[in-house]
């Protein structure tokens, strides 16, 4: 999946071949809904009992 970056006025995504392309706000929302964040893949710390 392409990585997404944005600025105050534009949104870009990194393509599979290493380039960057400008894309619309609608496309941005679709990609962000599917985005996986590193902290989501980390196990939750166990709480002391």
CA angle 17, 21, 26 (to 5 degrees): 125
Quick check: 19 and 5 in contact, CB under 8 A? Answer: no
Task: Tell if the pTM clears 0.75, that is, is over it.
Answer: no
**Comparing C-alpha atoms, which of 37, 26, 24, 46 is closest to residue 12?**
24
pLDDT of 4-28, one tens digit each?
555 555 677 777 888 877 766 556 6
pLDDT at 49: 66
3-state class (DSSP) for residue 41? helix
The residue that leads in pLDDT, 31 or 25, is 31
Confidence tier at 34 by pLDDT (50, 70, 90): low
pLDDT at 2: 52
How far is the C-alpha of 36 from the C-alpha of 34, rounded, in Å?
Answer: 7
């Amino acid at each position: 999946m392409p990585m997404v970056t944005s600025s105050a006025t534009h949104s870009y995504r990194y393509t599979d071949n290493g380039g960057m392309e400008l894309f619309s706000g609608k496309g941005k929302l679709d990609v962000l809904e599917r985005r996986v964040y590193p902290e989501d893949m980390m196990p939750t710390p166990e709480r002391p009992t």
